[in-house]
Structure 1
Amino acid sequence: MRSKHKRADQPLTVLVVEPRAGDLERTRVVLGEAGFRVVPVTRFDAAGPLFEAIRPDAVVLAAQAPDYAAVSVARRLRQMGRGAVPMLYLVDAGDPDTYRHCLEKGLCVDMVPRSGSGEELVLRLRAQLRLKASVRRAMLPEDAGSAAIHDPLTGLYNRTFLLELIALETRRMERFGGSFSVVAGALEDFRAMRKESGRGLAERLLVYCAVVFGQTVREADVVARVGEDEFAVLLPGTPAEGVPDVMARVGERFALARLQVQGKVLRPSLALGAVSYPDVVGSPVQMLTQALQSLRRAREERRSSTGMGLTV
């Protein structure tokens, strides 16, 4: 059984998946000289079994056209590791198609351009590992599992981890250009319903809403619970003009949602708001706050015009 805590004198393990043998050897040498224990593999289909066997501290995946297998592997490894293992895409310099693919569909995994010295890969990998350690210390100092980045009730990512992902996405946009958006959503009349029906029913409704969100957004999008009844979705590669379609899709899905509890059928109603980068710039907290303020304005406008809320 793998030890729950790594001793301070043990090197951190990095799983490197790179189909090109020459590039794989160069990456192995660079990371080895930087003090990492490297597990190299040339086959993407071997990444899952190796990940399961060694439980690495981080993963580096070579992203290449035309199949971009690294993206599908990252999705599988993220599910296996419950989002707790940092990952990086290693991308050839001067390959705009791969950069664009990873920006839009890469699950918010950061990218590092392949360079001769490998210095940037080492620096970014160490930064990711420091981020992972700091989030764990801040949230659950005694827990080495993925609970530090997940909401315990819904299983979604939590506010702290979403803010870190927004920060990473901002740095990627500053470096490579492009846009991303943050959509915030909150249940109508949630507090009144909780007061009337009890905490148990309220929690079931929140879990149900988390499932609806997860079934509605793209695989590349990231859903988090950021408040008692508030959710947020990070939309990589989505500019402001693409947000109305996303909000319409989420709204339509919630309009069809039904939750049957104790002989009652609840129809959750949702208020939505959004901000987009670079139309809005600021710290991750400021961007999330502005998205929440946008949804609160929308909620007030909706209540004043229709009086709609959670109905039975």
Structure 2
Amino acid sequence: MVLRHDAKTEQLTVLVVEPRAEDLERTRVALATAGFRVVPVTRFDAAAPLFEAIHPDAVVLAAQGPDYVAVAVARRLRQMSRGTVPLMYLVESTDSEAHRHCMTKGMGVDVASRAGSGEELVLRLRAQLRLKSSVRRAMLPEGVGSSVAHHDPLTGLYNRAFLMELLALEMTRCERFGGGFSLLVGSLEDFRALRKESGPAMAERLLVYSSVVVNQTVREADVVARVGDEEFAVLLPSTPAENVPDVMARVSERFALARLQVGGRVLRPSLAMGAVSYPDRVGSPDQLLNEALRDLRRNREQRRISATGMELTV
């Protein structure tokens, strides 16, 4: 999965905001070597005016405590671009507090570690820019460079094949730089029974509505895909296994509030979930997805057994 830079491809511009001159030069060289046009600046208050003037393809913001000015700047740039320009925080690989702050308070913006040759930053930027390019192509009229190959035609989410590409890229990043990620999967309960009882149109409306609920719940840096008839998957970058229960709880709470009214009938979607975390589990992208789906089925069976036991007790 490579973002090509050749004579036929327009060079992509990255605005880099880094107060420390030595680190700024190191980042500039890494990105320029990878084929990007780099606009470096050391002052955060210059970011918005420059952003407006040069219209960059992506922005990299150095984030460090105690004030984390980068987060406020990211908020401003997202407002200016209406969320169409990928943003990236750059943190010290040893600064766990900065990493935690950006992941929890950074408005869903992705994080890369400042380490070595800058290869991790390049990999993450290319992944974000490929996502952006895919979205743009998908919004074009059919047949005009559309990205049908990357998207599920019903929900508009990414499809299984494209998720596998991104999983492979994330695995490569983790192998080179350490860290990990998690893959969350969800399956709509009673979807097949609803399709049999009320027809495919009703079931598809529930599926589309549920895909919107999932998309509204996860972070901007997460990737949501449809991987089966009633199954979704969410790639959670830089999310270890211990943080997955919090993500699941957030999704469950959101679905508990969800209601879809169709023809006078109120549908309440419910999502069974499972997950797998890398490198706790290793294997190919397909193997990781299948393991997450097995975890989903185990969780569903455990709930069924627990519910049956409660009924017998009562």
Please tell me whether residue 269 in structure 1 is matched to residue 270 in structure 2. yes
- Map Cα deviations across residues 37-70 of structure 1 (whole Å, 9 max, x no partner): 3223444465466556644344333232223344
CA distance in 1, matches of 2:82, 2:168: 22
Residue 185 (structure 1) shift: 0.6
Q: CA deviation at 1:262?
A: 0.4
TM-score (norm 2): 0.68
Matched, 1:125 2:125: no
Moved more, 254-263 or 49-58: 49-58
Does the 8 A contact of 2:89 with 2:109 survive in 1?
Answer: no
Which structure 1 residue ranges, 5 or more long, are not aligned? 1-5, 308-312
Q: For 1:9 and 1:213, locate their aligned partners in 2 and report how far apart those are by CA, in whole Å.
A: 34
State the Cα distance separating 1:278 from its structure 2 match. 3.0
The alpha-carbon distance between structure 1 residues 41 and 147, as it changes in their structure 2 partners (threshold 3 A), is farther
**Using a 3 Å threshold, how does the CA distance of structure 1 residues 58 and 237 change in structure 2: closer, same or farther?**
closer
For 1:204 and 1:151, how far apart are their aligned partners in 2? Answer: 14
1:283 correspondence with 2:284: yes
Structure 1 residues 280, 187: closer, same or farther in 2, change over 3 A?
Answer: same
State the AA in 2 paired with 1:125. Answer: V
Aligned residue for 1:212? 213
Aligned residues, how many?
295
1:80-91 matches, within 5 Å, as 80=81, 88-91=88-91
Moved more, 289-298 or 210-219: 210-219
- The CA distance in 2 between the partners of 1:144 and 1:56, in whole Å, is 22
Matched with 2:229 is 228
| Cα pair distance change 1:156/1:93, threshold 3 Å | same
The residue matched to 1:293 in structure 2 has which SS? helix
- Measured in 2, the distance between the counterparts of 1:268 and 1:142 equals 34
Pairwise CA distance, 1:273: 1.4
The C-alpha deviation readout for 1:90-114, integer Å capped at 9, x for no partner, is 4346544334545666647352425
Alignment partner of 1:183: what SS?
strand
Q: CA deviation at 1:176?
A: 5.4
- Aligned partner letter, 1:13: T
1:35-74 to structure 2, matched below 5 A, reads 36-44=36-44, 47=47, 50-51=50-51, 54-70=54-70
Q: Who is 1:310 aligned against?
A: none
Structure 1, 227-236 or 149-158: larger mean CA deviation: 149-158
Deviation of the 1:25 alpha carbon: 5.2
Tell me the percent identity: 65
* CA-based RMSD: 4.4
- Distance, in Å, in 2 between the alignment partners of 1:235 and 1:146 is 23
Could you report, residue by residue, the CA deviation over 1:133-183 in whole angstroms, capped at 9, with x for unpaired residues? 6995xx979766887765554454443444444445444544555553322
Equivalent position SS for 1:206 = helix
The amino acid across from 1:251 in the alignment is S
Aligned-partner Cα distance in 1 for 2:173–2:105: 14
Higher relative contact order (CA 8 A, sep 6+): 1
Unmatched 5+ residue regions in structure 2? Answer: 1-5, 309-314
Q: Separation in 2 of the partners of 1:39 and 1:291?
A: 41
